[in-house]
Amino acid sequence: MPNTIHSPGQVLNAPPRKQAKPPGPCAMVIFGAGGDLTKRLLVPALYNLATTGLLPEHFELIGVDMADLDADKWRDSLHAMMESFVGKAASESRIDKVDEDTWKRLTGHMAYIRGDLNDEGLYQKLKQHIDQPSDTGGNCLFYLAVADRFFGPVVTQIGKAGLFEENWDQDGKAPEHWRRVVIEKPFGHDEASARSLNASILRCAEEHQIYRIDHFLGKETVQNIMALRFANGMFEPIWNRDRIDHVQITVAETVGVESRGRFYEKTGALRDMIPNHVFQLLAMVAMEPPAGFDAHAVRSRKSDVFSAMRTIAPGCAVRGQYGPGPDGVPGYRQEKDVAPDSAIETYVAVQVAIDNWRWAGVPFFIRTGKHMSRRVSEIAIRFKPAPFAPFEDTNVAALPPNWLLLQIQPDEGIALQFEVKRPGPVVDLAAVRMAFKYADWFPKEPNIGYETLIYDVMMGDQTLFNRADMVEETWRVVGAVLDDWTKEKPEGFPNYASGSDGPAEADELLARSGRAWRPVMDKAEGRAEG
Ligand code: BG6
């Protein structure tokens, strides 16, 4: 009998929950073992996998770095980092305590290999270690948690040392063991460099071994877009140019560049966020239904979206840079490692067109920025107005619009905004919001977004990772704007105050077609806005 309880906290008519199985045995080699990404995200994510029983039973963690450490010192430094997350509400890796049994399960089998990433000798030492008989069965995941200039050289050296060999038998049956490599972002800095990086890594490894990671795809609510669209029959008939007026994607952050000034001066908001994180959100909304949920089917449908996206014309892009804010908040040009006359953007808004039957004529407006008024990642789908409203003195064009809001973070959920009659003797309309919040229905699981992705690599599932053609196409889409911004210095920087909603020019981008951004600061949670 299905369980039918009509209240939040209990899912309706749910079949029994599918239990995830732990992956088979493997070793994980982290290049950049002493770095920030390893400490802040990878190790906490592995810890969470151990907590939920999803770490392989036979697992070895191997650190590679220049730092003068050994396995014990490395373990201690990671433990200290985990301790620092205890009870820190603001930390993405927040935990209530470090459970020592779980910690032992994660770090019981550890090695540390010190060396220079450009030195062949390092990879020989690594090979000797990996080739020793062990209960991880020779399966090995290489995680490149290093600066992007090392991606090509490290993959090349792993290849040269013969560490990508899987020994497939002649019939193409499962290999003796698997070898996989995870490559972080930024994957290239434009189309040409992404193509060249792909070419160089594909000389050493095969596409099925390469996992180009985008951590936005590890966020539950991003994956949920596929469930919303393809597990419900009611959305598909209205999910197209006939009923949708336009789509807005907002990824607003309240943090500034913090200690990453040097990185940001070379990168800027466009490269940092748009062709990767934000286009992944866009693809989830815009893709055609895949024939199945295997990696080939899903990635091919997403790739179709990227190919159909028109190269953005510089006139359809706006850049901004934050200036000082209230209470002594420094402007971007006052941040550490930033030039006092920097022309780098910390905010970007673009209008994107998708040239296919589903989306022709439906603009996608995207904006992302640092030091904005509120931290929010949201996809807002605006529907076309009712064709006619038979109410006295009602101007259809003036009715508040219907919105479907996919709230990615921090208040994960889905909301629908529509018109109702206000109580009272006259027909008077008001916009209200019907909201589903994840937190009301499901207990929170320990998750910082990397767990699913690391688990998928161990399981050999590439669905949530980028294929070579996908990264190349996304860089193509932003190429003309990147070129223009490199040549043309921006005018009037800084052009938005820290803690505001971004530069006024971004409003003009929508105003040209009589549209407007939804306010970033949605104080009226649960109450509708225009
Ligand atoms: C990173 C960017 O990839 O994503 C950062 O380099 C950005 O600049 C971050 O702040 C946003 O990720 P999240 O998970 O904090 O929303």
What is the Cα–Cα distance from 232 to 500, expressed in whole angstroms? Answer: 37
Each residue's pLDDT tens digit, 269-313: 999 999 999 999 999 999 999 999 999 999 999 999 999 999 999
Residues ≥6 apart with Cβ < 8 Å to 295: 461, 462, 463, 465
- Radius of gyration, CA atoms only, the chain: 25
Can you give the pLDDT of all 530 residues of the chain as single tens digits?
Answer: 334 444 555 677 666 777 889 999 999 999 999 999 999 999 999 999 999 999 999 999 999 999 999 999 999 999 999 999 888 766 666 778 899 999 999 999 999 999 999 999 999 999 999 999 999 999 999 999 999 999 999 999 999 999 999 987 777 777 889 999 999 999 999 999 999 999 999 999 999 999 999 999 999 899 999 999 999 999 999 999 999 999 999 999 999 998 899 999 999 999 999 999 999 999 999 999 999 999 999 999 999 999 999 999 999 999 999 999 888 889 999 999 999 999 999 999 999 999 999 999 999 999 999 999 999 999 999 999 888 877 767 676 778 889 999 999 998 999 999 999 899 988 888 899 999 999 999 987 778 889 999 999 999 999 999 999 999 999 999 999 999 999 999 999 999 999 999 999 999 999 999 999 999 876 555 444 44
- Give the H or E element holding residue 487: helix 468-487
Closest C-alpha residue for ligand 1 atom 12? 216
Ligand 1 mean position, distance from CA 307 (Å): 25
Pick the catalytic residue: 58, 79, 129, 277? 277
Closest C-alpha residue for ligand 1 atom 8? 272
Ligand 1 mean position, distance from CA 279 (Å): 14
* Angle of the 100-107 helix axis to the 71-85 helix axis, nearest 10: 140
Each residue's pLDDT tens digit, 339-387: 999 999 999 999 999 999 999 999 999 999 999 999 999 999 999 988 8
- How many CA atoms lie less than 13 Å away from 182 in the CB half-sphere? 29
Q: Mapping DSSP to helix (H, G, I), strand (E, B) and coil, where does residue 308 land?
A: helix
Give the dihedral of Cα atoms 130, 134, 137, 143; nearest 10 deg.
-40
Closest C-alpha residue for ligand 1 atom 9? 273
Ligand 1 contact, 304 CB (< 6 A)? no
- The CA distances from residue 181 to 152, 406, 462, in Å, are 12, 32, 11
Ligand 1 mean position, distance from CA 367 (Å): 14
Instruction: From 206, 137, 187, select the one nearest 473 (Cα to Cα).
Output: 187
Ligand 1 contact, 253 CB (< 6 A)? yes
- The CA distances from residue 110 to 105, 135, 343, in Å, are 11, 13, 45
Atom of ligand 1 minimally distant from the CA of 251 = 16
What is the Cα–Cα distance from 183 to 164, expressed in whole angstroms? Answer: 14
Atom of ligand 1 minimally distant from the CA of 377 = 16
* Angle of the 279-286 helix axis to the 220-230 helix axis, nearest 10: 10
Ligand 1 contact, 148 CB (< 6 A)? no
pTM: 0.94
Closest C-alpha residue for ligand 1 atom 6? 272
Ligand 1 contact, 214 CB (< 6 A)? no
Decide if 58 is catalytic: no
> Residue 238 burial (CB < 10 Å; 0-12/13-18/19+)?
middle
Closest C-alpha residue for ligand 1 atom 10? 253
